[in-house]
Structure 1
């Protein structure tokens, strides 16, 4: 019985650690700044997250989907059309 409990705890702890590594909370004020910046450029922002140290915004513009990458100073470093 002890082995079963230990195994269950090990599995649970592993998935909790993995989930926390994938999720980075973004400051709501920074999110608002990004939304404002991109909205002024004609984008309809749908989602913002962090990826490899960059802010990654998913947005629509003129019927196309975009992934827009911004650095810590909110300068756009890369824009891709999302197929």
Structure 2
């Protein structure tokens, strides 16, 4: 019986953590900082959102579409060419 309760609590905690992360809103100040930083690098920002604990900026540069991933300190950790 104890194992069943422990399993149920673990499942509920995992679901709650996932729901909390996915509902985090992007604040205006952070969005503006990301936009300014990437615009200075030549990108035209289309959209910024939070996913999987990282900021994702969707941008254009030199006729190509990019997905740019930033950590909580706003360091670019990965840039992908979006097909």
TM band (smaller chain): 0.7 to 0.9
Q: What residue is the counterpart of 1:75 in the other structure? A: 75
What CA distance in whole angstroms lies between the structure 2 residues aligned with 1:42 and 1:23? Answer: 30
Q: TM-score, normalised by structure 1?
A: 0.72
Q: TM-score, normalised by structure 2?
A: 0.72
What CA distance in whole angstroms lies between the structure 2 residues aligned with 1:72 and 1:20? Answer: 16
Q: Write out aligned runs for 1:25-40 (5 A).
A: 25-40=25-40
Gaps of 5+ in 1: 1-18
Q: Which runs of 4+ in 1 moved over 6 A?
A: none
Residue 25 of structure 1 and its aligned partner are, at CA, apart by 1.2
Figure out how many residues of one structure are paired with residues of the other and give that number. Answer: 65
What CA distance in whole angstroms lies between the structure 2 residues aligned with 1:28 and 1:61? Answer: 23
What CA distance in whole angstroms lies between the structure 2 residues aligned with 1:54 and 1:21? Answer: 10
Residue 21 of structure 1 and its aligned partner are, at CA, apart by 6.8
